[in-house]
Structure 1
Amino acid sequence: MDEVEVVVGHQERTTLRVGEMFLKVDADPARTAFEAEATRTAPVPTPEVLWHQPSVLALAALRGRPLGRLGERSTAGPAAWTAAGAVVRALHDAPLPPWPGPGPDLDERASSLADECAWLLADEVLPADLVERGRQVAEAALRPWSPVFVHGDLQVAHVFVDGDEVTGVLDWSEAGRGDALWDLATLTMGHPEHLDDVVAGYGTDVDLDVIRGWWALRSLTAIRWLVEHGFDPSAPGCEVDVLKAQL
């Protein structure tokens, strides 16, 4: 081991890579306990849980590399994205997990969207027309859905591939019962050119307007949190660009 790599870090949690091991340190010990259980329970490839102590979870490194990263062009080919779609379908076809969630319900998401749009307008973070048009697109996602076993935060960087094979899916801290299209939208956010590949692997009809709605909703509701935690949502390919590209 030559160094300790900070993979991601903010006030709530930090992920470190130490050789062939990832250490997740969380201010809330209940979150690491839950993630350890969810990682072992998930019906798709996941990293091995090496050990867990209050506030710290140790995971074995996965073979390969992330499918991509938000703000960067993916170097993975269409077949790898199709394989990722198939893995997501296997997750959604599995029996519901014993715990609820993830995150807020439909009414809470609608309220959050309204609050965040109001903040964006009041602080002039984004042009008013971009916020209003983005909100109109986002409302397509705010409809009833039948819950499935979801990852809950299926960012493209959480899916590892080796060639065209998915070797594992990371970060199950938001796993639970939710909207299948939320997972698909999170995976393809910032990478719309691979949406067709993911849907082909998923193997069933998908309402693309709802996918685009989730892209817009996730972008609009994430900006304040990102700014407050030292991230730049205006970086190329990130949340603000996702909004602009859609509209």
Structure 2
Amino acid sequence: MPRSPLALAALATVAIPGMDAFDVRRPAPGGGDHDVAVVIDSERRRWVVRAPASPAAGASLEAETALLELLAEHVDAGRVPFRVPRPAGFAHLPEGGRAVVHREVAGRPLRIDALAAGPGLAASLGRAIAALHELPVDLVENAGLPTYDAASYRARRLAELDEAARTGKVPPALLRRWEEQLEDVSMWRFQPTVVHGDLSAEHVLSDGMTVTGVLAWGDTQVADPADDLAWLVVAAPEDAVESIMEAYQLRRTELTDPHLLDRALLAGELALARWLLYGVRSGDPAVVADAVGMLEELDDHTHAADTEPSLA
């Protein structure tokens, strides 16, 4: 049973001695495997309390907490131009594990459809992602989070594709195109970096002009930097993507990766295959139907683009 907001507020008062909880609210959906609430104290400060809903979620939250404590040094030194959650207190749970409390990070969720070309928010987003990718990889290793080299990460993607193919629900033309790209070794010669792993509009906060914060670090790993760009390449306006990438490339100190955008686009498409696999593994027919519909739409779009007459 999910914990009620009042139960989460009680955990927050245990985690932060002396807290006088004045109000408690559920945030927007997106807590994933955690029960989440925003607690407002008598001084109108806003605190986020997160409690794991399963032992696996508890282990993930502990690893994320360790990473956030290491990241704080880089935030304070100005190596990343945004804020991250800072664990301020913990409350032990009767079933094991801990709830974590941190001050709410300022900003509003990014509106990806409102991104525009130029030196404003799009450029700030590019610099923010580049700064993340410049962080030392031992941050991830020391937090006990996954680390991949380029070859093992490509093998992981191939294994996912094989599993998706066995469902019989991926259009054959998509499968062939994805296989060709995954088997093209030249595309996969990249330098692994720290990767957030779950960047999305709800996890990137802004004040309208700059990126102010990044949330949800539980999927951080050392892997392909293209993964953090996939959501933008797929969904952001094309001219905004150009500004994002220009700022990103200027901020990276070592970037010789001619296939970065190719892999980002592929990662965005393969996210549909992972959504399908999630539906199959969890036995959720609604998720399977949603994934199949999006895969068919992508297949139609790809076929239309391939058969468009050339203007040359």
Name 2:66's counterpart in structure 1: 37
Deviation at 1:161, TM superposition (A): 0.4
The alpha-carbon distance between structure 1 residues 233 and 80, as it changes in their structure 2 partners (threshold 3 A), is farther
Shift of 1:96: 1.6
Quote the offset at 1:170 in angstroms.
0.5
- 1:31 corresponds to which letter in structure 2? S
Q: Partners in 1 of 2:262 and 2:85 — Cα distance?
A: 33
Distance in 1 between residues matched to 2:227 and 2:85, nearest whole Å? 22
Shift of 1:135: 4.8
Q: Where do 1:34-183 residues align within 5 Å?
A: 34-42=63-71, 43=74, 44=80, 45-53=83-91, 54-68=97-111, 74-78=113-117, 79-98=120-139, 99=141, 101-102=146-147, 105-119=153-167, 121=168, 124=169, 126-136=170-180, 143-183=188-228
Tell me, yes or no, if structure 1 residue 221 matches structure 2 residue 243: no
Superposition deviation, residue 49 in structure 1: 2.0
Letter in 1 for 2:268: W
Structure 1 equivalent of residue 26 of structure 2: 4
SS at match of 2:229: helix
Structure 1 residues 189, 52: CA separation in 2 closer, same or farther (over 3 Å shift)?
farther
- Counterpart CA distance in 2 for 1:107 and 1:134 is 13
Letter in 2 for 1:41: L
Q: Distance in 2 between matches of 1:138 and 1:21?
A: 44
- Give the letter for the 2:114 counterpart: T
* Alpha-carbon distance in 1 for matches of 2:205, 2:172: 38
In 2, the alpha carbon distance for the partners of 1:58 and 1:241 equals 42
Root-mean-square deviation (CA, aligned residues, Å) is: 3.4
For structure 1, the residue ranges without an aligned partner over 5 or more in a row are none
Q: How far, CA to CA, are the matches of 2:181 and 2:37 in structure 1?
A: 36
Change (3 A) 1:200 1:218: same
TM superposition score normalised by structure 2: 0.63
Q: Is the 8 A contact 1:190 1:242 kept in 2?
A: no
In the TM superposition, what is the alpha-carbon distance from 1:140 to its structure 2 partner? 6.1
Q: Which has the higher contact order (CA 8 A, sep 6+)?
A: 1
- Identity of counterpart residues, as a percentage? 21
Contact 1:67 1:80 in 2 (8 A): no
Residues in 2 aligned to 1:239 and 1:49: alpha-carbon distance in whole angstroms = 38
- Give, in angstroms, the shift of residue 234 of structure 1: 6.9
- Could you tell me how far 1:160 is from its partner in structure 2? 0.4
Task: Give the residue type in structure 2 aligned to 1:90.
Answer: A
Which 4+ stretches in 1 moved above 6 angstroms? Answer: 233-236
Gaps (5+ residues) in structure 2?
1-22, 41-45, 75-79, 92-96, 303-312
Comparing 109-118 with 130-139, which one deviates more in the overlay?
130-139
Q: 1:13 to 1:240 in 2, by over 3 A?
A: farther
CA distance in 2, matches of 1:241, 1:39: 39
Structure with greater helix share of residues:
2
1:87–1:233: structure 2 CA closer, same or farther, 3 Å change rule? farther
Name the counterpart of 1:211: 264
When residues 17 and 128 of structure 1 are mapped into structure 2, their CA distance, relative to the original with a 3 A threshold, is farther
When residues 89 and 25 of structure 1 are mapped into structure 2, their CA distance, relative to the original with a 3 A threshold, is: same
What is the CA–CA distance in structure 1 between the aligned matches of 2:279 and 2:90, rounded to whole Å?
A: 28
